[in-house]
Structure 1
């Protein structure tokens, strides 16, 4: 095997798209078009506190491995919260920012962060990333939502692991939505039907739009709802209409929209990403309150779509015990962390040991409240 050559790049513009896709796989959030759109539309840029410092590895002039890396001067848009760590640094007169981060900006989706074909190359990337963090003199290096192969490589390289939880739906091969409902306990099944009837009685119907079936008009309606959702929470949206237009133009097959209408007038919308036989629930918004509309638009309709199209898994995004009543179950997620200052590294390691024990207990307790009938019932 020829020798690996590492370099840091601040844009994907000069990376061969086909070579990138060969190592990125079929996760839509790791696709060249998705990441490059985030940067090219300035959603993830130095101006927004996400300075790209991608680690790339070449062999014989060809891209062999890569790692999305960012210099961050804040902790927003990450969904793994380290504000208490930053505060402890600052209270002791030590800067926490800039830190180095490997993640898909604004996207709490598990996937590869060490984009490589072999375990050996994943190990090389993990060690090289530590060298980059030291060379840049950052306080720390954080890898968010790595998959299982990455997690093993990162732990072997000396990273500390942090456990989290999301709520995912698995499709064992339901024949139809009624078969899915039949797997529920009676009272949980009755509640879903009541909620669906309430939405129907409000005059709401649903349309599923995928790929080129999504029109620019529907996308603009989605974006107005997306912005309204952020404003309702006194927050500023991370993503621009130009970003979503770029995805629709260059990667339409990665998009699926649930559109709620009353007559011909759109009322609410949810946008999902699709790839690798998985659908990822991402954004939603509405123009009016209708009881049960959020659950129906975001979760129930998406699960129904997955069943109809044979999609194996639906990931409901960050947070939300309420998702369990719709059939999404607690699923561990992970992040990996390296802290340059050994004093803080030791303290954080102690904290993570306690937090992991508490998280495991929490997940076990959640597992006792899944809505499904016991096996064999």
Structure 2
């Protein structure tokens, strides 16, 4: 069977298949439903979600638009889903690419809209897609997901896609699925280099530094903090 992708705006697919338990509560369906219900994500919030659903099919051809699935999708054959947000700002990401925006503006290019895959408002490294029960993430699935991302980018005229706080596993598979380049200083990139990078659709790895506080009491005796004062005491100890 072949892998194909569909671009979906709603979350009806969640209840139609058995999904693996995510590695972080910030990828639980309950958390995402809360984001939707409180309008923390959505077009008005500047976080327009589109879901790239990868599924198995006997069909070879494939056509899809964001608003309409031209060919019928058998949700029961879904293997993975990755959220992609269409954004015109950087808010709620905890990591910023203003240097890229400035570089584009310097050469008269449009940086917005841009595409972002993340757990909104959450600077926690973790899983950034949902896998169906019994499935294992591999290069073939990631290649199909990236094809869906590229399709979205072309349809909305996005400049780029950003996977934020992704797991090392997903980063490695994404870089294996597409040509990789390293740019040390986006602010110094030339117009010719921007055009070359855009034409080649590469994955660029961007590294940052996080300061993490651990629950020492939990690590030592298996007990969590009793209250916020205990948390502050541990931080200052």
- Normalized against structure 1, the TM-score is what? 0.45
* Higher Rg of the two aligned structures: 1
Q: Unaligned stretches of 5+ in structure 2?
A: 58-73, 180-202
1:43 paired residue among 36, 40, 55 = 40
Whole-Å Cα distance in 1 between the matches of residues 101 and 53 of structure 2? 28
Aligned to 2:174: 154
**Shift in CA distance, 84/136, structure 1 to aligned 2, threshold 3 Å:** same
Whole-Å Cα distance in 2 between the matches of residues 50 and 299 of structure 1? 37
Q: Unaligned stretches of 5+ in structure 1?
A: 178-205, 209-257, 261-292, 301-322, 327-377
The yes-or-no answer on 1:85 pairing with 2:100 is yes
Which has a greater percent of helix?
A: 1
Aligned to 1:134: 154
Please state how far the C-alpha of 1:90 moved relative to its aligned partner: 2.3
Aligned to 2:87: 72
Aligned ranges 1:1-377 → 2 under 5 Å: 2-12=1-11, 14-17=12-15, 19=17, 21-22=19-20, 25-59=22-56, 61=74, 62=76, 63-116=78-131, 117-119=136-138, 120-156=140-176, 157-158=178-179, 159-168=203-212, 169=214, 174-175=220-221, 208=226, 258=227, 260=228, 296-297=230-231, 300=234
Whole-Å Cα distance in 1 between the matches of residues 39 and 109 of structure 2? 30
Whole-Å Cα distance in 2 between the matches of residues 20 and 170 of structure 1? 33
Aligned to 2:62: none
**Shift in CA distance, 102/151, structure 1 to aligned 2, threshold 3 Å:** same
**Shift in CA distance, 165/207, structure 1 to aligned 2, threshold 3 Å:** closer
**Shift in CA distance, 298/30, structure 1 to aligned 2, threshold 3 Å:** farther
Whole-Å Cα distance in 2 between the matches of residues 76 and 69 of structure 1? 15
Residue pair 1:114, 1:126 contacting (<8 A) in 2 also: no
Whole-Å Cα distance in 1 between the matches of residues 211 and 93 of structure 2? 17
Whole-Å Cα distance in 2 between the matches of residues 126 and 175 of structure 1? 44
- Normalized against structure 2, the TM-score is what? 0.68
Whole-Å Cα distance in 1 between the matches of residues 174 and 48 of structure 2? 23
Whole-Å Cα distance in 1 between the matches of residues 233 and 175 of structure 2? 34
Q: Output the aligned Cα RMSD.
A: 2.9
User: Any idea what SS the aligned residue of 1:58 has?
Assistant: strand
Whole-Å Cα distance in 1 between the matches of residues 23 and 232 of structure 2? 23
Which has a greater percent of strand?
A: 1
Please state how far the C-alpha of 1:128 moved relative to its aligned partner: 3.1
User: Any idea what SS the aligned residue of 2:206 has?
Assistant: strand
